[in-house]
A and B are shown apart, each in its own frame.
Chain A
Amino acid sequence: MTKPSEIELSRRQLLAATGASVAAATYPSAVAAQASTQTPSTARVSFTVNNTVRKLEVDTRTTLLDALRENLRLPGTKKGCDHGQCGACTVIVDGKRINSCLSLAVMHEGGKITTVEGLGNPKRLHPMQAAFVKHDGFQCGFCTPGQICSAVAVLDEIKAGIPSHVAADLNAAPQISNAELRERMSGNICRCGAYSNIVDAITEVAGRKA
């Protein structure tokens, strides 16, 4: 049987091969260009994606999500709702997790963006990716890149002492508990309901780090 990581590998290599030659070209985003009567406006933007500087000229309407998927051919980041309601599009920008669907590409001039492809690859999995595999933290896998980016950032947020809604004492250092992780991960919806395994995966990584 083929392991999920192998499918991922071949898909990624294929996409990398097709994507490399077009990295700096202009692609009007399919979504951005829909149903318009006025003339679209374009703008240049340059940011670092997974440690590589990327320069783009995009329709100003292009979201960061569409720029990553369509223009830069990094399809790891997923489009679930496109309205901030599911977390599938979560990426880490300048050290913070955000919904890439509710941000414009042109707003990230000089930014440092990490997508799931940048965290690790099938040969060198990020500890969080490995823990998701080990704990079955997914079923269909659609929400998974967003879950993983979010989970990595959540552990940094806890380390930085950022409080959460379930904190009994706002002034105490946050702890890694089931309740804390569930609350902090609530912006990532999983239609397959892999939640308890996701929390197990994050807990393991947190334990290893501590």
Chain B
Amino acid sequence: MKPFTYQRVRSPAEAVAAFGRNKNAKFIAGGTNLLDLMKLQIEAPSHLIDVNGLALDKIEMTPDGGLRIGALVRNTDLAAHPRVRRDYAVLARALLAGASGQLRNRATTAGNLLQRTRCPYFYDTNQPCNKRQPGSGCAAIGGFSRQLAVIGSSQACIATHPSDMAVALRVLDAVVETVKTGGVTRQINIRDFYRLPGDTPHIETNLADGELITAVVLPRPVEGKHGYRKVRDRASYAFALVSVASIISRDGSGKVALGGVAHMPWRNETAEAQLPKGAKAVAENLLSDAKPTEHNAFKITLAERALASAISEAKG
């Protein structure tokens, strides 16, 4: 790890101000992704701003019957919250399918959203990687790409976003609340939060430098059967090869998003309209622009089957 100075902050205003004074700063929440990457010098902040003291660890009802989840709520606590279990089961299921009990006890809502890719070449600092070192090339293209993206990728990067929670938030139409320098707040729909890699795979979200996530807001609960189907190489404690977050009504209509296939949770409303016709129709539409590699073409079949499983589970 590179040396860094360390500071605890007590309010969001103090946090963004601290960032303003230290250009190469990073916020640290649970630390479970940032410290991992700092040990490998993939991240090398010279100043850490510890946001654990911000009182952003509450889950509250919103006036319109939704839920406001503080940025510092731990993944365990969010999954165990009675309202989340009852009304947003897709989110509880996605969280519980991720990482391990120990990691979920530390991992926070904001940190989970901002965790970085698990592309093996991003982690291997001897390899070219446009995300880690812009302009250096992409070792995954033509390399071992079994885990990587099948859709929405670019000539520069074929990485996936590893978060399970984000896939659930995408079907729930969640909104991310932030604050920037000068106290400017804004709300970003999860649909517009992540970016495709394009020519700038190192820029992963539409957050500004030093913009602090304060909460994630869920709209009022949606009727239907919630599910999160995750397919991985072992039964627990592994990232998704493919996952499906779904909310499916009795009439067969509903919402679905895929994880493990792209640089962001993958959802499209036209494909979703095909739900009553079955998994094949949805998958064909949702993945019509897919450009898999020879190593990960299996994900197309896997996605369709995972969708079929989600649909049949919903019919119960």
Contact = CB atoms under 8 A, between A and B. Distances in A.
B3 interface: yes
Contacts of B89: 170
Interface stretch (A18-26, A129-137, A179-187, A196-204): A179-187
Contacts of B28: 104, 107
A171 B100 contact: no
Interface in B74-105: 76, 79-80, 82, 85-86, 89, 92-93, 96-97, 99-103, 105
Contacts of A188: 100
Nearest to B105: A96
B106 A38 contact: no
Contacts, number: 117
B4 A60 contact: yes
Contact of A60 (B5, B235, B237): B5
Interface stretch (A46-54, A79-87, A118-126): A79-87
A163 to B, nearest CB: 6
A41 B5 contact: yes
A23 B4 CA distance: 24
Contacts of B236: 165, 182-183, 186
B42 to A, nearest CB: 12
A149 to B, nearest CB: 9
Contacts of A150: 101-102
Given A83-B39, A162-B76, A170-B93, A106 B106 contact: no
20 contacts: A36-B3, A38-B3, A38-B46, A39-B3, A60-B3, A63-B35, A84-B102, A87-B102, A99-B102, A102-B30, A102-B36, A106-B6, A107-B28, A157-B101, A161-B80, A163-B80, A163-B96, A186-B235, A187-B99, A187-B103
Given A82-B39, A102-B106, 4 more contacts: A59-B3, A84-B99, A106-B50, A171-B82
When A and B form their complex, which 7 residue pairs have the shortest distance between CB atoms, in order from nearest? A187-B100, A186-B236, A186-B237, A96-B105, A165-B96, A60-B6, A38-B3
